[in-house]
């Protein structure tokens, strides 16, 4: 099976600190993957490299069927390739309605000029309805985003990514600050999204990772130290020593 994203032999150093150390990691076109590891393991830097925010010192980042190098692309070009990122803190347009937030995402799926040239097509309206259904906000389309709960804002932001029909979604700690019910819904949303694109979840919360029931990659000091099911990686002695043995502060 061809890979959607192949990261191989990537290293990056900041002020003498090697944040990513000969990292190799691959993702299939439609899969759900969790990335875990202690603070400073390189999880955020990994996402920064894939999205073009940080350029590595060495290594390759190869994307898609045409084997494009992401290292030669700008951040906006990478977005246009279909790579979306959701940060830990939701960044929705608070003064706009849920529908308007989703419409902005749909209308500018690949670059800022799409919005000027796009007539409001039926397809967009149908897409907005479908995404709202998927994120559980069908009944909230006319609500102002600022009035949503923390969990609902997170879902809206995931929806704004989904509206752009990405091929890869990088999602940072989606379960943080959520109620148990919201966490369950978030699990469903991410599992459903992973049927049509690759969804990579960076998470600290082991219980949430267990719910995702997916392949897990463990990073430590900028490299992969274990990969497999959660049971497999949590039985790995190195993982226990560097990560699980510590308190999860």
pTM for the model stands at 0.90
The per-residue pLDDT string of the chain (249 residues; one tens digit each, 9 = 90 and over) reads 689 999 999 999 999 899 999 999 999 999 999 999 998 899 999 999 999 999 999 999 999 989 999 999 999 999 999 999 998 777 899 999 999 999 988 865 455 555 555 555 667 888 999 999 999 999 999 999 999 999 999 999 999 999 989 999 999 999 888 999 999 999 999 999 999 999 999 998 899 999 999 999 999 999 999 999 999 999 999 999 988 775 443
Whether the Cβ atoms of residue 196 and residue 127 lie closer than 8 Å to each other? no
Mind listing the domains of the chain with CATH numbers? 5-94+166-244 (3.40.50.300)
Residues near 215 by beta carbon (within 8 Å), at least 6 away in sequence? 31, 32, 33, 34, 227, 228, 229
Beta bridge partners of 171: 86, 201
Instruction: Give the closest residue to 82 by CA, choosing from 68, 92, 101.
Output: 68
Residue 107: per-residue pLDDT: 62
| Of 182, 231, 173, nearest in space to 44 by CA | 173
pLDDT for res 247: 46
Phi, psi of 76, rounded to the nearest 5 degrees: -70, -35
């Amino acid at each position: 099976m061809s890979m959607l994203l192949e990261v191989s032999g990537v290293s990056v150093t900041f002020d003498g600190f090697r944040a990513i150390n000969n990292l190799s990691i691959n993702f299939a076109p439609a899969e759900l993957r969790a990335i875990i590891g202690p603070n400073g393991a390189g999880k955020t830097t990994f996402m920064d490299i894939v999205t073009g925010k940080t350029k590595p010192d060495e290594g390759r980042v190869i994307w898609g069927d045409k084997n494009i190098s992401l290292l030669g692309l700008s951040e906006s070009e990478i977005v246009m390739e279909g790579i979306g990122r959701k940060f830990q803190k939701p960044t929705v347009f608070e003064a706009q309605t849920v529908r308007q937030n989703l419409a902005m995402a749909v209308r500018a799926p690949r670059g800022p000029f799409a919005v000027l040239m796009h007539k409001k097509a039926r397809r967009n309206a149908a897409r907005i309805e479908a995404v709202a259904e998927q994120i559980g906000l069908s009944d909230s389309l006319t609500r102002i985003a600022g009035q949503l709960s923390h969990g609902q804002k997170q879902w809206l932001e995931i929806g704004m990514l989904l509206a752009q029909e990405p091929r890869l979604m990088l999602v940072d700690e989606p379960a943080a600050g959520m109620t148990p019910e919201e966490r369950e819904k978030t699990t469903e949303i991410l599992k459903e999204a992973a049927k049509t694109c690759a969804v990579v979840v960076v998470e600290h919360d082991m219980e949430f990772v267990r719910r995702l029931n997916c392949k897990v990659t463990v990073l430590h000091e900028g490299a992969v130290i274990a990969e497999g099911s959660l049971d497999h990686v949590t039985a790995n002695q190195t993982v226990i020593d560097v990560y699980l043995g510590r308190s999860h502060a």
